[in-house]
Amino acid sequence: MEVVTPPPSQAPSPPETFTKPADFGCGRWVDAWATSLRPDRPNEYLKTHCTEHATFVGTTVRQTVGVSVATSIIRLRVSNEYGKAVLSLASITAAVPLPESFENNLTTAGSATIDPETICDVTFGGRTSVEIPIGAVILSDPVQLFLTAGSDVSLSLFLPNGQLGDTVTSHLIAKTTTWFTRGGGDCTRSPSLRACPNVASYPGWFFFASIETQPLHAASSTVACFGDSITDRGDSELPMNDYSGWTDVCNFVFRSARRVVSRYSILVIARVSTGIRVVVVLMGINDLGLIPATPRAQDDLYDRLILAYGQIIAKCHSATPRVAVVVSTLMPFIPPSDDYPPPWPLSHPLREQTRMRINRWIRLKDGDGGVTDGFDHLIDWARVVCEPDNEYVMQGRYQLSDYLHPSVEGCRAMAEAVDLRYLTDPPSAE
């Protein structure tokens, strides 16, 4: 993956509200939000904003994401990693979203409306337009926009001619609603996309890989979470626009732990310079379900998963500065009975045996128990969510709909089980 870095910013002077020295960041860049990306074909669900030959033609896309630290300076990583043609963007703006009512909740997450007084142009080498080559990621100039910790930021971009081909770079099933409008020209500075023509919405993020900030607190650092759908807000049936998953902000979601190692250096080790100091790993459930339920296949899977975990430990501990690895046990996925509607179709006793073997290995590699070549800390989520008298089944109140994905209450129990010292104490140099 090519990373394109533009020349220094030639952007205009900042607004008066940001002229106080105390308003500026600590001088180093830290990831405040990031996500994993994948190829997607919006023409399958947003046909009105696509043509036979291009995607998002004449379309303004507005999406909101949450940032984890207070800051007045941000910069964006914009990705064309999976596009089949050059990505041409006429303009990008960043702004503070205004709250809207969503399912009886007033929230800025997923809002189509922005505060006009906070709109900032995002530039690349001083220019508001940018062309991103196939497979590349480009870093914007710094943008001065005050954001409080835990707040949302609205990002709008305009594709005058769309992107050629049927594939764009995206994150499927985002936590917030993204808005689209076509036919009204560049609407990136419009106070509300709801007032623009041909408005549509979809729960996905597009083109943005991360937001970096210069936090107001010099000690700020990033916790990156690696996982599957349980990390990525659990399941599409969880409430939208309320951040009800057990973790938010920097999560990198993959279908398979066995395939994560090849991208691990790109997503974590190469980003230690942007403040990643702790990685939380909850990976392996999909591997158990995708591999045949035969003794030989499951034995082979066990060996490969242990190898993958070992690679993650080695890469993090050899990084400079060292990155701590917090691991979780794999949570149960067997329904309480064979006739439970709907059972997870891939649940099987052999897969469950492999899960238990992996969890035994993970517990033996808990660094808090004195192991020097293992994980730094363990979160035993398998024991947190299982029935008190049955470690093979998730508690009914903690499961969402399939005894695999946790409910809102289950996500809350997972979050409350985390010892925050694991995330805030600096990693040992040993």
Query: 135: helix, coil or strand?
Result: coil
CA distance 414 to 416: 6
Q: What is the mean pLDDT of the chain?
A: 84
C-alpha distance from residue 344 to each of 4, 238, 341 (Å): 43, 17, 9
CA distance 232 to 230: 5
pLDDT on residue 59: 97
CA distance 199 to 179: 7
Rg (CA), the chain: 22
Q: How many CB atoms lie within 10 A of CB 48?
A: 12
CA distance 54 to 86: 11
CA distance 386 to 99: 37
Contact of 211 with 34, CB cutoff 8 Å? yes
CA distance 332 to 351: 10
Span 24-75, pLDDT tens digits: 566 788 888 888 899 999 999 999 999 999 999 999 999 999 998 889 999 9
pLDDT on residue 20: 37
Ordered domains of the chain (ranges, CATH): 2-12+20-212 (no CATH), 221-424 (3.40.50.1110)
C-alpha distance from residue 377 to each of 153, 225, 354 (Å): 32, 14, 22
pLDDT on residue 17: 35
In degrees, rounded to 5, the angle at the alpha carbon of residue 397 between the alpha carbons of residues 392 and 400 is 85
Contact of 194 with 112, CB cutoff 8 Å? yes
pLDDT on residue 301: 92
Contact of 413 with 385, CB cutoff 8 Å? yes
pLDDT < 50 positions in the chain: 1-22, 253, 255, 258-262, 429-430
Q: How many CB atoms lie within 10 A of CB 337?
A: 8
Please name every residue paired with 62 in a beta bridge, in sequence order, or none if there are none: 156, 179
